[in-house]
Amino acid sequence: GAGVSQSPRYKVAKRGQDVALRCDPISGHVSLFWYQQALGQGPEFLTYFQNEAQLDKSGLPSDRFFAERPEGSVSTLKIQRTQQEDSAVYLCASSLAAEHNEKLFFGSGTQLSVL
């Protein structure tokens, strides 16, 4: 596709359920990032992949959060035993290369609501 695609667009989960959020980056993009955006706040970094390697997961808030990118393209963010505080928009972004001033392309996000 032309841009970063995320699915589902909206997800409602009951507290304690597991969820999986998908990100399809722009084809050929090496770097992939996940961010969490709480209502009325700026996005906060969760984790970073360069190809299939997860180089930084310092932003994952707990061990209930897990991300993977097994073939260096599509990525999945999994949240186990969801809690109400996990409610947020989860953004995925990709860039062509790994340089620090490389432009990031963002998806529209998955809005997760935990009831």
Partner 1 sequence: GNSVTQMEGPVTLSEEAFLTINCTYTATGYPSLFWYVQYPGEGLQLLLKATKADDKGSNKGFEATYRKETTSFHLEKGSVQVSDSAVYFCALRRGNQGGKLIFGQGTELSVKP
Query: At its nearest, how many Å lie between partner 1 and the CB of residue 107?
Result: 5
Neighbour count for residue 76 (Cβ, 10 Å):
14
Residue 14 near partner 1 by CB under 8 A: no
x/- track of binding to partner 1 for residues 30-69 (CB under 8 A): -x-x-x----xxxxxx--x-x----xx--x----------
Measured from the CB atom, the residue of 14 and 58 that comes closer to partner 1 is: 58
Query: What per-residue string of b and e applies to 81-109 under the rule 16 or more CB within 10 Å gives b?
Result: ebeeebbbbbbbbbbeeeeeeeeeeebeb
Q: Which of 7, 62, 108, 113 binds partner 1 (CB under 8 A)?
A: 108
Bridge-based pairing state of the strands 5-7 and 19-24:
antiparallel
Q: Are 107 and 5 in contact (CB under 8 A)?
A: yes
Contact residues toward partner 1 (CB under 8 A) are 3-4, 31, 33, 35, 40-45, 48, 50, 55-56, 59, 91, 93, 95, 98-104, 106-109
